[in-house]
Structure 1
């Protein structure tokens, strides 16, 4: 399986899955894919020397060895399971400084002290309220539990690693690059947006031919596609801006209508008041 995989916000990569003996092997490298809405060309090249290249738009994005970047075969070398770390191996990079001593009385420093600014309330009654004690505050002299400083270990030997030996289960495959079962083309697709098109698919043993095929198809139209896409996006933005303006106008009209209704209601109420006053005058 080969091609881009975009799912949500986290998955945006090129899949390169090689199948051998009925088992799928994922590439161990993270190859980012394109995420815009334009057309792109993805190319996978596997060579007889077991090297490979992944190209996007005819530009190499990843290359290496099939042996190293897929776990198709067991590793050639493994850690010696019989090896043991020597008892006198010193793998501590830092050690306590023997010259650093804890100051006298350090443990006697309290974490909190009575607030020197606190005053006994004037209405405090010792007989009824008990003996007054000042509230406590953090002690600025308290520095927490004492920790001895550390220094570089002069005897540090590094992290111990078991020596590597030949893997007895490794058996080379001189045809690891060959996939004789590659006879059909299928597209695995799951998406919630329409409009994706696939075309110009080629399988060949000539990388130069594949490159020229991409130049004769995708490359000839990429500039025109980009221009058409930009024009469509610009038109879309203009239409959205115009609609937003219409919505604002409608909102202003609604506010004007509401204001007019309020003014009319106030006017009617005032007319009614004047009429009542006239009736009282007549009486």
Structure 2
């Protein structure tokens, strides 16, 4: 073999290893085998609801769009699936799935949780430690957000930004991308809606700087922009009562001093009242501005270049509560391939178009049924009223004959 080939071969192999991407989990719920892969929790004290494989009431493709649908109102849901454990060290991490709240959800979760291998799937519940929580959460008009929560040193940290989720009845893809340079992106339907740096947008670490505990504002520091004019004096006629007896009031004719006590006129606002006197203000010649507390390096701050790192990811779960059921979860994907995730989510426009078309047809069909039912009820009421009139007339005739 030529020497140049021998020299370049390790480089080519190393490059191949860098660009090689992996799909750690993909589940589109194509058939009923999901029941063998996803494990229901049996945690005591919870009345868990059941998932059913369904494409919902309206869809683009009945078979392709089937996912896991919540089927019982006012229930907790807890189901999880295990996959081959992996670490995202020096790799991108992409978590993606689709959510369709076709029931027009009023209060309930639509997120996933990612766990390490220590989770007992049969005992998964709301307090089970997890690595990542991601996805939409809706409850009333005040909560319509996308959760992005990471566990760090045993504590869950919420993002310090408000990311709004979709709140309509159609399918939406939610994508979280975490990169080895400690940056992240959140996408909805392949559109980036938030991004940034993990250290800046989560309180994983103490602040880099803190106020110097030994620094104090100097006693002679004057931070008053203005001061009272020492030569200004209150006018002699300034002080007037805030309320005065009503000059137009008169003692009622039936007022009895012995029975009712001494009569006093009601009090009214004094038009001459000027309020509390304050001397006019002058610019303070000694004003030094607002005192700023000096800062020092925080001795407790220790940088961490591996905030992104998850040493072991092993299980994905839907652990949530819903007041009104009907949500369809589908297109679950965990990978390090950003382009692959983008490609799969690019189907969203066709999915939504098909859903809207079918929903409009169903709504029109329902509208016609409602109109027919209303007409039947109106005709029935008219017939009932006619029968009552005829009965009254017959009864009147019988009475006349008697």
TM-score by length of 2: 0.57
Alignment of 1:218 onto 2:348: yes
Alignment of 1:31 onto 2:170: no
Which residue of the partner structure matches residue 298 of structure 2? Answer: 167
Q: Which stretch shows the higher mean deviation, 221-230 or 99-108?
A: 99-108
Which residue of the partner structure matches residue 71 of structure 1? Answer: 203
Equivalences for residues 39-118 of structure 1 within 5 A = 39-92=171-224, 102-109=234-241, 111-116=243-248, 118=250
Gaps of at least 5 residues in structure 1 are: 276-283
Q: Relative to 1, partners in 2 of residues 1:114 and 1:77: Cα closer, same or farther, differing over 3 Å?
A: closer
Q: CA deviation at 1:156?
A: 5.3
Gaps of at least 5 residues in structure 2 are: 1-132
- In terms of fraction of residues, the more helix-rich structure is 1
CA distance in 2, matches of 1:256, 1:96: 88
Provide the aligned C-alpha RMSD in A. Answer: 3.5
Higher relative contact order (CA 8 A, sep 6+): 2
Deviations 1:131-159 (A, max 9, x none): 99673351451546324277585465554
2:400 to 263, 268, 271: 271
Q: CA deviation at 1:69?
A: 0.8
8 Å Cα contact 1:97/1:151 also seen in 2: yes
Count of equivalent residues: 269
8 Å Cα contact 1:92/1:156 also seen in 2: yes
TM-score by length of 1: 0.78
- In terms of fraction of residues, the more strand-rich structure is 2
Q: Give the secondary-structure state (helix, strand or coil) at the position aligned to 1:201.
A: strand
Q: CA deviation at 1:61?
A: 1.0
Deviations 1:163-211 (A, max 9, x none): 2221111111111112122222211222133332222122222322211
Q: Give the secondary-structure state (helix, strand or coil) at the position aligned to 2:135.
A: strand
CA distance in 2, matches of 1:106, 1:14: 60
CA distance in 1, matches of 2:386, 2:272: 67
Q: Relative to 1, partners in 2 of residues 1:129 and 1:40: Cα closer, same or farther, differing over 3 Å?
A: closer
1:232 to 331, 343, 362: 362
Alignment of 1:138 onto 2:268: yes
